[in-house]
Amino acid sequence: MWTLLRGPLKVLGWLVLFASLAANLYLYYYPLLQPAACNWRSDSTVHLLAFGDPQIRGSDASSSYRTKLDLYGNDLYLGHIYKTLVGALQPTHVAVMGDLLSSQWIPDESFYERVQRYKERIFRPELFPPGTDMINITGNHDIGYAGEVTPERVARYEHAFGQLNFIKYYGEDEKNKYRIVVLNSLVLDGPMGYDQFRKDAWNFLENVVARDQFTGPTILLTHVPLAKPEGVCSDGPYFTYYGEEYDWALREQNHLAEETSQRVLDFVFGPGNPHGGVILTGHDHEGCESTYHYEEGRWAVSAGSPAKTGTRGVHEITVRSMMGEFGGNGGLLSGGRRDDGEWNFTFSLCTFGVQHIWWASKVLTGIAVGVAIPVLSLLSLGLL
């Protein structure tokens, strides 16, 4: 009986070993299989690695072991994507485009438990290359939409992840300088219960950003995409509001309102955008690219990048989610001066694949180490 099984067992053992090896090679070297998408532009000095909407979920005492295992595996899956891309690409900046967590309604205990996992399992600070900036952008699942934002939610977010609105400047000389503007777009439209947050955001735009007298390109990082008509992106225009008992406060939105978007573009980039720039957003998990160009006194939008639309304008990139069901993506924003002296930004999406690939590699490795190698060893020694 065993004599008849020796041949099939040996073949099966080697198949498992080769499958495990192939899965692990893909797991750790998948960027090499996508050289065009997973590399910075050769003439670029800005290397910004963006991750869309990780939405870290949580569990409680009533959660099943299967749920807890799934959450643990998802943390490691997201962390693997981050670790692999940071290690391979050595970015100048890392930005997470909002919805860091999956719910704005969770109590403080659950919030800080997820924050700990976010920093210790996924976006681990010790993996940052020297000099790399980590930028967290707030999303609706972090502090809520305008009608749900409270001082308590804002305070715990800022304690864990940093400011909601700020500017940072980069570049050693006039020729290579640029700035990054981080904007809390969740409070720009209303109505909202705590109007001070809306006032703070607009004051930041009007009196800090617009009066900056900055003459280089701007990278705007924010969560909610700017207004656009149906069909430009996966998400079309959509607003809902709470009832009269909550003063019709804003409950949900896919984009910023049209006039809000016009003002943001004017304040951040200036009419006609003379100095160049780009916008990165999250929120729409499918991802999207569009271009805002200035004509007849207003900003108009076209689907696609400036290179595809043939128009000169501000490129808005909605970064596709890094969640497993959307393919485990990392977005690469490359920026630098072209030969003609003008700044140029390009974007590509480096995709790992669904979370089942990560799980399969771990299961295959376990079977290879725990079963295939011992069986092959026993067969080679004539003990089986």
The tens place of each residue's pLDDT in the chain, 384 residues long, gives: 556 667 777 888 889 999 999 999 999 999 999 999 999 999 999 999 999 999 999 988 788 999 999 999 999 999 999 999 999 999 999 999 999 999 999 999 999 999 999 999 999 988 888 889 999 999 999 999 999 999 999 999 999 999 999 999 998 888 889 999 999 999 999 899 899 999 999 999 999 999 988 889 999 999 999 999 999 999 999 999 998 877 889 999 999 999 999 999 999 998 877 788 999 999 999 999 999 999 889 999 999 988 777 777 899 999 999 999 999 999 999 999 887 878 999 999 999 999 999 999 999 999 989 988 887 787 777 776
For residues 78 and 71, what is the distance between their CA atoms, to the nearest angstrom?
A: 11
pLDDT of residue 330: 98
Residue 363 lies in a domain: no
pLDDT of residue 11: 81
CB environment 259-281: b (16+ within 10 A), e (fewer): ebbbbbbbbbbeeebebbbbbbb
Full residue range of the structural domain in which residue 88 is found: 34-353
Residue 11 lies in a domain: no
Residue 14 lies in a domain: no
Residue 321 lies in a domain: yes
pTM of the full structure? 0.94
For residues 317 and 114, what is the distance between their CA atoms, to the nearest angstrom?
A: 27
Look up the CATH number of the domain holding residue 204. 3.60.21.10
Residue 18 lies in a domain: no
Residue 3 lies in a domain: no
Residue 219 has which token pair? 């990278």
Residue 23 lies in a domain: no
pLDDT of residue 59: 87
Structural domain total, the chain: 1
pLDDT of residue 47: 98
pLDDT of residue 35: 96
Q: What is the DSSP letter of 96?
A: E
**Residue 178 near residue 171 (C-beta atoms within 8 A):** yes
Measured from the Cβ of residue 129, the count of other Cβ atoms closer than 10 Å reads 13
For residues 260 and 235, what is the distance between their CA atoms, to the nearest angstrom?
A: 18
Residue with tokens 């978007």: 261
For residues 338 and 346, what is the distance between their CA atoms, to the nearest angstrom?
A: 12
pLDDT of residue 307: 78
Residue 299 lies in a domain: yes
